[in-house]
Each structure stands twice: as structure tokens, then as C-alpha cells.
Amino acid sequence: MEAYLLDWANLLLRWVHVITAIAWIGSSFYFVFLDNNLEKPKSPDLLEKGVDGAMWAVHGGGFYNPQKYLVAPKKIHTRLHWFYWESYSTWLTGFALFTVLYLYNASTYLIDKSLMDWQPGAAIGVALSFLVVFWMVYDGVCQLFGFRKNGELIVGILMMGVVAFMCWLACQWFAGRAAFLLVGAAIATAMSANVFFWIIPGQKKVVEAMMASQSGGAKYDAAKLAIHGKRGKQRSVHNTYFTLPVIFAMLSNHYSFMYTHAHNWLILFAMMVGGALIRQYFVQRHGYHYGRASHPWPWALVGVLILAGVIVALRPAPQDATKSIAPPADSMPVTGQKASENSNFSQLQTVMQARCIQCHGAQVQMKNVRLDSPAQIKLHAQAVYQQVVITKQMPMNNSTQITDAERAVVADWFKAGAKVD
């Protein structure tokens, strides 16, 4: 029952997390689009109102005229909408999902004893520290160098080094699947922290000063308040570059050929860099469209070349089709008789008993899958073949130490018709 309820928690949290992430990323992408498409108005009435940029758009049968004011408008006539719950909801649901999937089952999903044999409590503490430490380092770098000459370039180079080190360290300490997700979660935490600590507080200070001025208080100093807008824009732009790397990290747990690779940290870092460069292309191409910048195609080209390089580097080695994939007899678990004398299904049952029943037997049925009877094995034959032979995602983190020869037994049995009699 516990496994069943955890599966439901996993499904529902994942569902809500994806929905809120779409809302957050969608609004983030839209406002970056606006900033790169707004044009300085020429109309005297708009200039007199303090409009710094405007554009016309058509969507859903209606016309829209978004306008951006320098610091703040003189008066807000309708309800002011704040964009922050999209960010907070995404982080809260993501952290809850991370807790259910990885922290609650740290021994199974977070820890790979071949890398680091530590207790669940220690592993959980270190994993959570990744979220905090990355934010502190990133925020410190931004405050120290963000507004200096060539500050954004310095911040970018330093943070690339920090992310590379984090990828390496996570993959040295945690199971590959968890390491990829942890790096993505650390960057996503920094994104939400940008909203919580800088973007929203800065905007609130501007609104408070504007409202106080309209109520008869002292006129606000626009130049003094401009720093809040400048810092908010800086962190918002950083968030848009973080987006594609984070999404890749979240999706990568479905592709074991990446996180189980000997150089998994380098793969993760390369894919993140490629994603950030491609996002740079989309950010800058609107400026080119309006004649404000050169065509940004080199960013996309370099990003695609990095992705292509990873694809080539991970290509499977050619196999000799003439060679049998049957395992040698001495590689099979001891069952009282020689493995070579067993039928395909008898060999499979031996592997199931040694490597799979712990999580898919009478006492525990992870993902509601049982493999302790011929009927159940037959029912799940396709899934067993996909998870054990094709993706090699099971056993999770190879916690039961299944061998390649035993995986070959599963392949032989399935290809022979998945017979159980």
C-alpha cells in the first residue's frame, strides 16, 4: 500500500509541477520577448507619460498594446498583477517531488554505494546543501561582479566553472540519475531565489515609493529606484539562460545511457552549455529582426554542434551479429545445477529471484509490478525487457548488482518468445 500511495504522490506532484513550470517559463519567455521587441515610442503623449517601449501584437482575435515604463508610471489605474506565484509554486512542487522520489528513498535512489557508501541522513544533508551553496555562490558572484565593466561576461565565465564543478562533484557523490536531477534542482533553486530575494522585493520598493508619492508624500527619486529595475532585469535574464539547462536535467532521468556513462558529469555539463547557447540565439534574434543587432546564428550553431558532439561521443559500439549473446555458464547465479542445463525460463527465474524479487515480490511491489510468478512475469515481459535490457534502468542504480550476462539471459528469453512453460 505504501508503494501504491507513493506512486500516486509521484504522479500528482509531477503533474502539478509540470503545469506550474509551464506557467513560469511561459511568462518568463514572454517578458524576455517583450524586452527585445519593444520600440521607443515617437508619440508625444506616450513619451510624456514616461513610456520607454511599446509594441502592437495580435492574438486570439484581439489586438494588444503592451507598454513598458521607465522605472514606474505616474499612476496605475487598474489592479496590478504580480508574477511570482508561478515561480514559487514550481519550486515548492519540485522540491516536494524531489523529497518523495529521492530523499524519502535515499538508500535506493540517491545513494550509489560504489561511489560513496554513506548513510541516508548524510546523503540527504549533502544533497540539500547543494541547493543552498549554489545559490550563495551564484548570488555572491552577481553582487561582486554583476555591475562592473564587462560584469555579465565575468559572471558568465565564473558560473560556467561553478556549474562544471557542481556537475563533477554531484556525479562523484550520488547515483547518476540523482546527480543529474540534483544539479538541475540547484540551478532551479537559484532561479526561484532570484524572484524571491531580488526581483519581487525590488519591484515592491518601486511600487511603494510610487504609491507614497501619489498619496501626497515626497516625490520618489527615479534615478535611485532604477537600481531595483536594473538588478531585477539582470536576474530575470539569468533565469532565462538557466531554463533550458534545468529542463534538460529534469528530462535526463528517463535516459540511462547518459547518467550511467563513465563521463556522465561531462555529458551533463556539455548539454547544459549547448542549451544555454541555443537560448542565447532565441533571446537575440528579435534584436536582429528590428535591425538592432547582427544575426545571432553563431550561438545556435555552436550549441547544436555541442549537442551533435555528445550524440557522436555516446554512439553505441558496433556489435558482431554472428556472435551469440548467451552468457557463459559460470556467470550465472548458483542454483544447484549448471546454468547451461536450464531452460530459458528457468534461467530467467534464477535472475529474477537473485536480482528483482526484493522490490517486485510478495512483500514489496514497486510501481505495482510483481515478478514472483510465471503469470506476472509473462504479464510484464515487455516492460522487463525494456527496463533491464534496453534502457538498463533496472535494477535502480544496479542496487542488486545484476551482470551483463544476466541481462543477456533476459534478452534471450524475450527474443525466444517470452515463454513461461
Output 113 or 402, whichever has higher pLDDT.
402
Instruction: Tell me what pLDDT residue 322 has.
Output: 45
Strands 51-54 and 62-64: unpaired
Least confident of 93-107, 145-159, 358-372: 358-372
User: Would you call 196 exposed, middle or buried from its count of C-beta atoms within 10 A (0-12, 13-18, 19+)?
Assistant: middle
Angle at 183 between CA 231 and CA 155, to 5 degrees: 35
Q: Cell 547543494, residue? A: 130
Q: What is the pLDDT of residues 305-319, one digit of tens each?
A: 999 999 999 887 665
User: Would you call 209 exposed, middle or buried from its count of C-beta atoms within 10 A (0-12, 13-18, 19+)?
Assistant: buried
Instruction: Tell me what pLDDT residue 332 has.
Output: 46
* 124: pLDDT strictly greater than 50: yes
Of 92, 107, 241, 78, nearest in space to 163 by CA: 241
Question: Whole-angstrom Cα distance, residue 6 to residue 2?
Answer: 6
Number of H helices, E strands in the chain: 15, 4
Least confident of 72-86, 214-228, 333-347: 333-347
Exposed e or buried b per residue across 348-369, where buried means at least 16 C-beta atoms within 10 angstroms of its C-beta: bbbbbebbbbebbbeeebbeeb
Q: What is the pLDDT of residues 7-36, one digit of tens each?
A: 788 889 999 999 999 999 999 889 888 888
Query: Mean pLDDT for the chain?
Result: 85
Instruction: Tell me what pLDDT residue 319 has.
Output: 53
* 336: pLDDT strictly greater than 70: no
Percent of the chain topping pLDDT 70: 91
Q: How far is CA 325 from CA 148, 156, 238, 391, in A?
A: 61, 48, 50, 17
Beta carbons within 8 Å of 312's beta carbon, 6+ residues apart: none
